[in-house]
Amino acid sequence: MNRLVLAAWSMLRNQARKEWTPCALLGLLVVALWVPRIHGPIDLRWDGGAYYVLGTSLAEGKGYRLLNEPGEIEANQYPPLLPLIIAAHQIVLGTSDPLVVGRFLRLSSFLAFATYIFAIYAFLRRHLSSAYAFFGSVVCLLNVHTYFLSDLCFPDMLYGLFTVGFLLAYSSEKRWPTQAWAGAFAITAFALRTAGIALLAAWIAEGLVRRQWKAAVIRVAIAAVPVVGWFSYVQYVETSAEYQHPIYAYQRADYMFYNVSYARNVSLNDPFAPDLGYSTFSDRVERYFHNVTQVTRYIGESVSSMRRVWEVEREEISKRLGIEAGPQWIVDLPLFALGCLVLIGTGLLATQGNLIIPLCVLSFISVICLTPWPEQFNRYLMPTVPLLALAMCTAIAWVLEQSRQPPPSRWKSGVRAIACLVVVGITVQQIATTSAVYAKRHLPVQYETRQGDTVRYRLFFYMDSYRALDSGVDWMMAHAKPSDVIAVSMPHWVYLRTGNKTVMPPFESDPIKAEQLLESVPVTYLILDEGLAIDSKRFMKRVVERFPDRWKRVYSDDVVTETGERHEQAFEIYERVRSGSVIVQPETGSLPLMPQNALSEKERHDVG
């Protein structure tokens, strides 16, 4: 008996040791990725500023409103869970100061990130050996968008966490409490992102495929509550008098993506080129199938590295060889091959009876392919990377297992070598990419607060165009009056910094129409940028050139591109000239009003 007890204890200890080692290594990697970026507030650029503004509105008891907009309009684009989390931080801290709350949001993001990585390992460990589970977890951890989005005030990482939580709960014993938890995780994912409807759809489809009709009906009823509730709210906003009679002419234009629902925004052929008109049913079908043909490559990027990284490597090899290392499309081959490997693994999971995982992958991809933003596919796929990593590891394990079956042969040895090369290649590629991102793309930030203090920290992909924007906003805070309205392509971030009402410039190619729309706000300061998420200069440059008597340039700065090329006066601020108004000459650090080709004497940072 004693020998049996000792043997059992020894087995448990060895098992614990096997699990402890990969978990400890993952913990060290998580800490290593976060130590360089633990300081400063969370990144509130792009959508992050919109989420923060909505959270502030909830914390102040104003409802679900965009406080930056004239009239503080009701929002209906994003489900409200992340703004509620932000509001909870503000209420607990007793302030809405983005610097104070942003630091605590960064700490919360670190805790969520660590939880996410360990949850991924637990999920993969249910289906794979500890070695494969560790490799798959590292693939997820070193995915650029995994750690980049954890640095942003975006819901994507939390969405991924609850997706993994759903699959962990679902793969447990088929008892009522675990199924209830699975449903709760799926609903929470939908409350974070509208794309969470894909998880609910997969949950329902799994019951139908297994012919569990009662379970499928119950799931439909449960899923209908949040889905119908949210879309009813969207409809309520769109039929309200406030929506039908906006404060300014283009406030609810379908291309104003922060101010309208996803359904209205994607109804355009190209939301950033509204002149192309609205898409027909055949247009959307064509767009869907075009995206389907491209998504395999993006899947390959999700389990390795971005296509741009592969392109840089090809260019570097070409330089060293002195000749072109193949055509540009050659970098697509390994990405498509990895994507196909993932799809093969997804099929293997289905044949093994793990239907929920392939259905989730299929559902996620179907939702993604409906959108007109293929450039966002890497971000949209980030929450599915644990599933894609599982499928890839399943395929590799199956290939290796088949190659070991007798009789031995050369081709089987070659297959094993290729499988090992895939694992080593992905690991080396991701380590090299992560090292390069932290060394060259984790860049210093500096700007002034409203109180006059200087803020310094680091953010990912803070290129010179963003430095120019923040420097320009520093100038704005010294010159703009509280009543002035600013038109800028990052309105929420500028609102958080200045407190002024901010709007997106109209996406109109006709300068006369665009000027009329700006006047309807009315806009006092017009910011023309180049190199941000939306190059507003391509719309607004024609306006200031067409109406030089109405717009006077009061500030300008050069922008250095990633390749080191300097674009003179790429960032500009124009002030509206009204009859009887006096234009004040800008202070040192901004471009003199005349001549037009004079250079800014601001100190610049070369981050190319």
> Residues 42-100: pLDDT tens digits?
999 999 999 999 999 999 999 999 999 999 999 999 999 999 999 999 999 999 999 99
pLDDT, position 307: 85
Average pLDDT over residues 542-561: 94
pLDDT, position 236: 96
Q: Is the pLDDT of residue 579 over 70?
A: no
Would you state the structure tokens that stand for residue 124, as one six-digit string?
């993969």
Would you state the structure tokens that stand for residue 469, as one six-digit string?
């924007």
The C-alpha angle 59, 61, 62, rounded to 5 degrees, equals 110
pLDDT, position 594: 30
| Mean pLDDT for all residues in the chain | 88
pLDDT digits (tens, 9 = 90+) for 200-245: 999 999 999 989 899 899 999 999 999 999 999 999 999 999 999 9
Q: What is the share, in percent, of the chain residues with pLDDT greater than 90? A: 72
The C-alpha angle 466, 468, 469, rounded to 5 degrees, equals 65
Q: Which residues contact 270 (CB under 8 A, 6 or more apart)?
A: 276, 372
pLDDT, position 327: 75
pLDDT digits (tens, 9 = 90+) for 457-476: 999 999 999 999 999 999 99
Cα end-to-end distance, the chain, whole Å: 70
Residue from 147, 140, 144 nearest 43 by CA: 147
415 pLDDT tier (thresholds 50, 70, 90): confident
- Identify whether the C-beta of residue 222 lies closer than 8 Å to the C-beta of residue 184: no
pLDDT digits (tens, 9 = 90+) for 474-531: 999 999 999 999 999 999 999 999 999 999 999 999 999 999 999 999 999 999 998 8
d(Cα 590, Cα 572) in Å, to the nearest integer?
10
d(Cα 346, Cα 560) in Å, to the nearest integer?
44
pLDDT digits (tens, 9 = 90+) for 358-414: 999 999 999 999 998 888 899 999 999 999 999 999 999 999 888 777 777 777 778
Paired strand residues for 268: 278
pLDDT, position 417: 85
pLDDT digits (tens, 9 = 90+) for 420-439: 889 999 999 999 999 999 99
